[in-house]
């Protein structure tokens, strides 16, 4: 297979950046998208040019490190798939492919396709945990958790924190990410003691990080590689409203 | 040098309890004045950093990824073992201890393994309290499944993403400490050397991977939780960034490297399809609960569509060879059996290197929806990669490098032989012997990080309460920093003609062919020569683009491959020296009817290697393994 690639190149955060065009051949249809990028980089290295910097690690769709907007789609056009699990067999020989980084104010570009997603960590640090010190936990089976609740919590907990929801959103909102964590813990008995405080302080951190608000367009759900449902955002709104009305924590 | 494993006296069941009751403590007021560096943020690193922070130490934690949540523990699928005996099927701490020791082919320490089994019970409590959404029964209690090498159900799981959920639990605990200020997190930082002052580990040199700047970080003690070295094989199930650099740098500074040849080849991975391939993907061992492994009996059937091969022409070779454990034999045994049938010419893909993992019986028995609920995400992953539907046609699988049992030598305190330098999780060698059982890596990472290290590190730190904060202007820091800078300059200035990946692939091929699933003397001798030649060429002809002071992933890779080129040689030396077959180490000369032949008389020891210079013969230090409670026997799963 042969492709024309238009890749965003940007030396560092201060550089303005531009698209560069590369022609690539000898791509096989079993290759993953990142393996195709490896071929491009090997080609550039052989020509003594700078390879394209991009984030990637596990290459099995779970670490959440890979992050490319492919032909305008975060993680590409295939539903519920990370960039590393997208395969070249889903493209047509001869296609032109445009590759960009996540674009959002809260995710400054570091180089080429790699961005800084520390803002997502900041949201978790604001309350995405149960405050339990090591060693102080009660016996695991002491509190039964209804199976359907555990499953629902797991549905939300599957979020890999890649930030595709932010890249997909016209408001660059991270509400899907935030709502997944809030839902995961709100659905479990272990998450109850800090339930109200958590949602208020995580929401605050979300806004402070420069993410936009949710206007329910649903792009996040459509592009989430793990199929996290937008109903989590509905739950987040309920959680937030009820906490804001009934708790003593400051907004 | 005589190695002191510092195993406490007393009865096996009481050693850890007695140790904890009598060991040294550091008072809360003093903890505030003590700095600890934790390198790595996987299950071991994140849990250790969080727990040390909770205890009141000042912690600095480093990871090379953009967030601590991305460490490779996240990719573990199947589950975590614990001796809860919730299934009332006869499990106990002793049985978990025994299974782990036997599974490791009697090449691990009794006392360490027993402590691990004891901690397993607390780990589940801790994780549930953090909100880890483990699978549950209808009544709301925790569910279990079975894993290879055991006859009880003791594996806790969260769909096929147990590692992810446990890591997110540890990450949330870590995040809480970061928010409280007790842990300072350094993302996108790579440790490139350890700094020793008066023989003690007092800090590290780290490179900020965004700016390229070298940084000095001082601490009273340094903990490595830097994972394993499977990527020495180029193709493995590890993440692309997983590397040996931190462990190798401390080895070069005097820390012993133990049992480097003990590597685990996981039997169920998606087979290699082409030369461009960058990594291999694991299909969880849990699949062997319901999947049956087979190849055609006749060579000429091997490329026929599987549904055209009638039942009587199929060889369910694991069930045939190991009737007692069947498809759930330990990993090393399942992998070797796959190699045997493929070497016989019965492999089911064109290259000849794959066997079937077939779910049709289980789907008939339980229905598609039950199978989908157990393994849905794994089946989806398989379909995405292999472009084949495992609900309808059997999966094609083949063994791939997955885990390294070897690692830095540590004593009972998890301290290396350098005072103040600790190694936890996969980075150390201590608990899995020559073969790790499934669902035990997560257990060990969390046991070390949550429950063991935070206690044992006080034995060193209690004597450091009068040591002021470490001064990073010390000569030792300057020297280490300048050496790191020189190596980076050297790599950038070779300006040769081959890429880093070219060398990495070449090394991987040598390792897989000659130090992989089966090894022999001649091949290993040859491998050492080839690695030395490859390393010399690397240092003359590699091309690393860019500069030091920028975001430069090729430069990161180059440094890691440079270290693999040294580690690979040590692995070969260790494999050559160990003239027996045990666990994942299979020497073709030492077999009995095709099964591994252990030699307890001559090799019942841990090989702890001491660095003497690149390319020189390392010095072998032996730690004899003493079995007071169990009698090593021939491992039989028949």
Domains and CATH numbers, chain A: 3-110 (3.10.20.30), 117-246 (1.10.1060.10)
pTM of the predicted model over 0.95: yes
Question: Which of B331, B336, B528, B598 is an active site residue?
Answer: B331
Contact assessment for residue A123 and residue A174, using Cβ atoms and an 8 Å cutoff: yes
C-alpha B579: how far from chain center? 23
Are the Cβ atoms of A147 and B140 closer than 8 angstroms? Answer: yes
Asked if A184 and B131 come within 8 Å (Cβ–Cβ), the reply is yes
pLDDT tens digits, B190-227:
999 999 999 999 999 999 999 999 999 999 999 999 99
pLDDT of residue B95 exceeding 90:
yes
Mean pLDDT, residues B35-49 = 98
Query: Which class for B45: exposed (0-12), middle (13-18), buried (19 or more C-beta within 10 A)?
Result: buried
Contact criterion met (CB < 8 Å) for A188 and B50: no
Euclidean distance between CA atoms B435 and B264, whole angstroms:
6
At A207, the pLDDT band (50, 70, 90 cuts) reads very high
ipTM comes to: 0.98
DSSP secondary structure code for residue B355 in this structure: E
Q: How far apart are CA B252 and CA B245, in angstroms?
A: 10
| Phi/psi at B366 (5° precision) | -110, -20
- Quote the distance between the C-alpha of residue B465 and its chain's center: 33
Count of other CB atoms within 10 angstroms of residue A51: 20
Residue B374: its pLDDT value, please?
Answer: 82
CA-CA-CA-CA dihedral for B191, B196, B202, B206, to nearest 10 = -20
**pLDDT at residue A176 in the model:** 98
User: What does the pLDDT average to over B131-157?
Assistant: 94
pLDDT of residue B147: 85
User: What are the structure tokens assigned to B242, written together?
Assistant: 């997983």
Nearest neighbour of B126 by CB, restricted to A45, A137, A146: A137
Q: Do A42 and B501 touch (CB under 8 A)?
A: yes
Angle among Cα B399, B404, B409 to the nearest 5 degrees reads 165
Confidence of residue A242 (pLDDT cuts 50, 70, 90): very high
Collapsing DSSP to helix, strand or coil, B287 comes out as helix
Chain-centroid distance of CA A207 in Å reads 17
Instruction: For residues A235 and A230, give the distance between their C-alpha atoms in angstroms, rounded to a whole number.
Output: 9
Q: For residue A121, what is the nearest residue in chain B, using CA coordinates?
A: B67
**Mean pLDDT, to the nearest integer, of A194-217?**
97
pLDDT reported for residue A251: 66
DSSP letter, residue B252: H
Measured CA to CA, the distance from residue A31 to residue A59 in angstroms comes to 12
List CB contacts (< 8 A) between A108 and chain B.
none
Token pair recorded at residue A219: 């792009």
- C-alpha span between B540 and B360 (Å, rounded): 54
Best B128, B174, B280 member to test A by mutation, with max A CBs in 10 Å, is: B128
Counting residues of chain B whose pLDDT is more than 70, the rounded percentage is 100
Is B331 annotated as catalytic?
yes
Shortest Cα–Cα distance, B382 to chain A (Å): 10
The span from the CA of B44 to the CA of B410, in Å, is 15
Q: Reduce the DSSP state of residue B614 to 3 states and report it.
A: coil
Strand pairing category for A109-111 and B591-592? unpaired
Residue A49's nearest CA partner among B225, B499, B368 is: B499
Shortest distance, CA A174 to any CA of chain B (angstroms)? 16
In the block, tokens 């730190």 appear at B461
What domains can you pick out in chain B, each with its CATH number?
Answer: 266-401 (3.90.700.10), 475-624 (1.20.58.100)
Residues of B in contact with A39 (CB under 8 A): 276
State the pLDDT at residue B149: 81
* DSSP string for B329-348: --HHHHHHHHHHHIIIII-S
Helix (H) or strand (E) holding A180: helix A175-186
Phi/psi of residue B59, each to 5°? -115, 140
Of A30, A87, A140, the CB nearest to B125: A140
Contact B296, B309 (CB under 8 A): yes
Tell me which chain A residue has its CA closest to the CA of residue B167.
A63
CB within 8 Å: B66 and A56: no
């Amino acid at each position: 297979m042969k492709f024309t690639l238009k890749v965003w190149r940007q030396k560092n955060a201060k550089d303005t950046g531009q698209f560069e065009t590369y022609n690539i051949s000898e791509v096989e249809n079993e290759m993953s998208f990142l393996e195709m990028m490896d071929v491009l980089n090997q080609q550039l290295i052989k020509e003594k040019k700078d390879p394209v910097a991009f984030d990637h690690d596990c290459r099995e769709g779970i670490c959440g490190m890979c992050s490319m907007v492919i032909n305008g789609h975060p993680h590409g056009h295939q539903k519920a798939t990370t960039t590393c699990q997208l395969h070249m067999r889903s493209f047509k020989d001869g296609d032109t492919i445009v590759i960009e980084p996540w674009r959002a104010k809260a995710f400054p570009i570091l180089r080429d396709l790699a961005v800084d997603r520390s803002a997502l960590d900041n949201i978790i640090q604001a309350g995405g945990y149960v405050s339990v010190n090591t060693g102080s936990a009660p016996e695991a089976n002491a509190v039964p958790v209804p199976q359907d609740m555990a499953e629902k919590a797991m549905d939300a907990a599957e979020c890999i924190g890649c930030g595709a929801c932010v890249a997909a959103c016209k408001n660059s909102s991270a509400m899907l990410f935030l709502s997944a964590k809030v839902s995961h813990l709100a659905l479990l008995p272990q998450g109850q003691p800090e339930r109200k405080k958590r949602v208020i302080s995580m929401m605050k951190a979300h806004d402070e990080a420069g993410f936009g608000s949710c206007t329910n367009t649903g792009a996040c759900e459509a592009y989430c590689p793990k199929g996290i449902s937008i109903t989590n955002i509905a739950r987040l709104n309920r959680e937030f409203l009820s906490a804001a009305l009934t708790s003593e924590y400051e907004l | 040098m005589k190695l002191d494993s510092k195993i406490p006296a007393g009865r096996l069941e009481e050693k850890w309890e007695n140790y904890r009751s009598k060991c040294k403590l550091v008072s809360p007021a003093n903890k505030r004045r003590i700095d600890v560096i934790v390198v790595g943020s996987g299950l071991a690193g994140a849990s250790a950093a969080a727990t040390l922070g909770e205890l009141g130490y000042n912690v600095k934690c480093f990871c090379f990824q953009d967030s601590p949540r991305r460490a490779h523990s996240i990719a573990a699928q199947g589950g975590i073992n614990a001796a809860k005996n919730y299934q009332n099927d006869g499990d106990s701490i002793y049985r978990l201890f025994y299974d782990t020791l036997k599974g490791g082919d009697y090449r691990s320490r009794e006392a360490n393994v027993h402590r691990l089994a004891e901690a397993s019970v607390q780990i589940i409590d801790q994780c549930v309290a953090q909100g880890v959404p483990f699978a549950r029964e209808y009544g709301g209690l925790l569910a279990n499944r079975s894993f290879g090498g055991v006859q009880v159900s003791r594996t806790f799981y969260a769909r096929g993403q147990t590692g992810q959920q446990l890591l997110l639990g540890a990450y949330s605990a870590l995040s809480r400490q970061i928010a409280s200020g007790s842990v300072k997190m350094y993302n996108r930082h790579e440790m490139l050397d350890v700094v020793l002052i008066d023989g003690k580990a007092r800090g590290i040199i780290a490179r900020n991977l965004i700016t390229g700047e070298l940084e000095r970080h001082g601490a009273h003690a340094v903990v490595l939780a830097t994972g394993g070295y499977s990527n020495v094989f180029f193709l493995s199930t590890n993440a692309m960034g997983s590397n040996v650099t931190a462990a190798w740098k401390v080895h070069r500074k005097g820390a012993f490297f133990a049992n480097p040849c003990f590597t685990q080849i996981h039997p169920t991975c998606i087979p290699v399809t082409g030369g461009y391939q960058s990594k291999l993907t694991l299909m969880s061992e849990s699949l062997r609960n319901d999947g049956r492994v087979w190849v055609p009996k006749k060579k000429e059937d091997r490329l026929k569509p599987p549904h055209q091969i009638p039942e009587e022409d199929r060889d369910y070779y694991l069930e045939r060879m190991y009737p007692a454990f069947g498809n759930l034999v330990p990993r090393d045994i399942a992998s070797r059996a796959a190699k045997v049938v493929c070497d016989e010419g019965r492999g089911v893909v064109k290259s000849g290197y794959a066997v079937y993992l077939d779910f049709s019986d289980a789907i008939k028995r339980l229905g598609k929806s039950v199978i989908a609920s157990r393994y849905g995400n794994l089946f989806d992953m398989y379909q995405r990669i292999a472009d084949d539907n495992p609900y309808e046609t059997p999966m094609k699988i083949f063994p791939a490098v997955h885990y390294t049992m070897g690692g830095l030598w540590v004593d009972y305190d998890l301290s290396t032989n350098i005072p103040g330098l600790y190694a936890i999780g996969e980075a150390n060698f201590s608990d899995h012997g020559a073969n790790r059982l499934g669902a035990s890596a997560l257990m060990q990472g969390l046991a070390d990080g949550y429950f063991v290290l935070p206690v044992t590190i006080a034995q060193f730190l209690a004597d450091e309460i009068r040591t002021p904060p470490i001064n990073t202007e010390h000569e030792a820091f300057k020297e280490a920093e300048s050496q790191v800078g020189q190596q980076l300059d050297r790599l950038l200035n070779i300006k040769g003609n081959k890429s880093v990946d070219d060398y990495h692939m070449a090394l991987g091929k040598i390792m897989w062919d000659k130090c992989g699933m089966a090894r022999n003397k001649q091949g290993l001798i040859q491998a050492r020569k080839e690695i030395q030649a490859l390393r010399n060429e690397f240092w003359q002809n590699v091309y690393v683009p860019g500069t030091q002071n920028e975001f430069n992933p090729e430069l990161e890779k180059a440094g890691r491959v440079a270290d693999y080129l040294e580690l690979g040689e040590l692995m070969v030396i260790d494999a050559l020296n160990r003239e027996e077959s045990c666990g994942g180490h299979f020497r073709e000369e030492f077999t009995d009817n095709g099964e591994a032949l252990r030699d307890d008389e001559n090799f019942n020891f841990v090989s702890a290697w001491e660095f003497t210079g690149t390319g020189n013969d390392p010095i072998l230090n032996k730690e004899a393994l003493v079995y007071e409670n169990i009698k090593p026997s021939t491992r039989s799963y028949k």
